[in-house]
Structure 1
Amino acid sequence: MKRVNHIAPSILAADYANLATELKRIEETGVDYVHIDLMDGQFVPNISFGTDLVASMRKHSQLFFDCHLMVVQPERYIDALAQAGADMMTIHTESTVHIHGALQKIKASGMKAGVVINPGTPVSVLEPVLELVDQVLIMTVNPGFGGQAFIPEMMKKVEAVAAMREASGLDFDIEVDGGIDDTTIGLAKSAGANVFVAGSYLFKGDLLAQVNTLREALND
């Protein structure tokens, strides 16, 4: 099956003082996703955005809000995030003892549901929940901070998840997050990913020009 590729600029690398303007700049590149990292300072050693800020951003954008929760017990935020206007809520297997139930609640809220694994987590933990999810996110860095170096060994995980999808006849997207640039995006695509989160690489220069370099790399 031919899958649609999505470049998902990470708002974590944007100018926080001008998020409405940054969302407009993202829209002007022609991408349709924006990746929003919510961190609580406990699951990862950093604090970023909360559900109120997602609601504020929603007033300024019609982009697909791909919300990645790096928080303890993410099920506590399902209702608030749905009300804030998130399109997808993606949660870590490592962050809750009730991953199956939490994903069910996300789906019931009207949002799409995603599941994430960290670099040190085996793909086998995904098997019980794959039928529930719209997206699997493979972290290609250890979560918590932008600007980290891509871990190439994670491509084996992407390949394994793609094989699991094929074997089960399911149709979820595979997303990668961390160290994505014009070189690593091709590796991730070849391994089976079709949603690519990029932060530091995109916002370090002209946003449209940087997005176009990723598009060109995907087409090579």
Structure 2
Amino acid sequence: MTLLLSPSMMCADFKNLASDVKQLNEAGVDMYHMDIMDGQYVPNFGLSPEDYQTIRDLTDKPMDAHLMIKNPRQYIKFFAELGTNLVYFCPDAEQQPARTIDDIHAAGMKAGIAVNTGTSFESVKELLPNIDYVLVMTVHPGFAGQPFQDFVMPKLNQFIAAKKQYGYVLGIDGAVSREKIMELHKAGVDNFILGTSALFGKDEDYMTIISDIRKEND
């Protein structure tokens, strides 16, 4: 099973962003995770279009857009034009989430759903045949540095069990420690969003951290 490591760029050092991205590229990360927040759907503001474009110009690696915003469908073309490869949206932010998935695909991007802590497996199950990625939030959306919410594990196990049937790539986002990666990759999670729990703000360099995580999960 493939292990995907995706740094959460809201946790990067923006004073040295070009250097950070260069080091992450050299470390062999798989995809850049970009949190877009509007201060309405979640009580925080996230990365700006200018931030997105800056990082897009610094890497050839895939970049996602995790849209924690109201009415995400109206911004699909906007993110396609920024060079986004994958769009995650929250199904409860849309009146017609199935149409949003179709529009993402029509714009040439992969479609993913972000499943918040309060969103059930059953409420999004009908979307699973049409999506490429599922991102299960393991913290409440909006802020870095929160503890892992263990109550989401039964739901995560439902997505693990359904993954073979529907063929999506399954990821988690929030308090992703190296211990959690080892535990949950073995269980069936593919993609790990790396923030301050495993990657940023550590004494070790990115190359060492990413290499060690891959060795731990061979």
TM-score by length of 1: 0.92
Matching of residue 34 in structure 1 with residue 38 in structure 2: no
Q: Which runs of 5+ in 1 are unaligned?
A: none
In structure 2, how many angstroms separate the alpha carbons of the residues matched to 1:154 and 1:43? 20
In structure 2, how many angstroms separate the alpha carbons of the residues matched to 1:27 and 1:19? 12
Matching of residue 174 in structure 1 with residue 170 in structure 2: yes
Matching of residue 183 in structure 1 with residue 182 in structure 2: no
Q: How many residues are aligned here?
A: 215
2:44 to 11, 23, 46: 46
1:22 to 11, 16, 20: 20
The CA deviation at 1:34 is: 1.1
Indicate the SS of the match to 1:176: strand
Q: Which runs of 5+ in 2 are unaligned?
A: none
In structure 1, how many angstroms separate the alpha carbons of the residues matched to 2:44 and 2:57? 26
Give the letter for the 1:202 counterpart. Answer: L
Counterpart in the other structure of 2:214: 215
In structure 1, how many angstroms separate the alpha carbons of the residues matched to 2:48 and 2:130? 25
The CA deviation at 1:203 is: 1.0
The CA deviation at 1:179 is: 0.5
In structure 1, how many angstroms separate the alpha carbons of the residues matched to 2:131 and 2:86? 10
Indicate the SS of the match to 2:47: coil
Counterpart in the other structure of 1:203: 200
In structure 2, how many angstroms separate the alpha carbons of the residues matched to 1:89 and 1:218? 27
The CA deviation at 1:19 is: 2.3
Indicate the SS of the match to 2:43: coil
In structure 2, how many angstroms separate the alpha carbons of the residues matched to 1:154 and 1:120? 9
Within-5 A mapping of 1:36-75: 36-75=34-73
The answer as to whether partners of 2:163 and 2:169 remain within 8 angstroms in 1 is: no
Could you report, residue by residue, the CA deviation over 1:179-217 in whole angstroms, capped at 9, with x for unpaired residues? 011111122213321000011130112222222332233
In structure 1, how many angstroms separate the alpha carbons of the residues matched to 2:46 and 2:160? 31
1:131 to 99, 113, 129: 129
Indicate the SS of the match to 1:202: coil
The CA deviation at 1:21 is: 2.1
1:163 to 158, 161, 170: 161
Matching of residue 144 in structure 1 with residue 179 in structure 2: no
The answer as to whether partners of 2:112 and 2:132 remain within 8 angstroms in 1 is: yes
Runs (4+) of structure 1 exceeding 4 A deviation are: none
Stretch deviating more after TM superposition (14-23 or 57-66): 14-23
In structure 2, how many angstroms separate the alpha carbons of the residues matched to 1:110 and 1:102? 13
The answer as to whether partners of 2:72 and 2:89 remain within 8 angstroms in 1 is: yes
Indicate the SS of the match to 2:18: helix
In structure 2, how many angstroms separate the alpha carbons of the residues matched to 1:25 and 1:39? 26
The answer as to whether partners of 2:28 and 2:210 remain within 8 angstroms in 1 is: no
The CA deviation at 1:88 is: 0.3
Indicate the SS of the match to 1:64: coil
| 1:181 to 1:195, Cα distance in 2 relative to 1, 3 A | same
In structure 1, how many angstroms separate the alpha carbons of the residues matched to 2:195 and 2:163? 27
Give the letter for the 2:132 counterpart. Answer: D
The CA deviation at 1:153 is: 2.9
Within-5 A mapping of 1:116-127: 116-127=114-125
The CA deviation at 1:114 is: 0.3
| 1:191 to 1:153, Cα distance in 2 relative to 1, 3 A | farther
Percent identity (aligned): 32
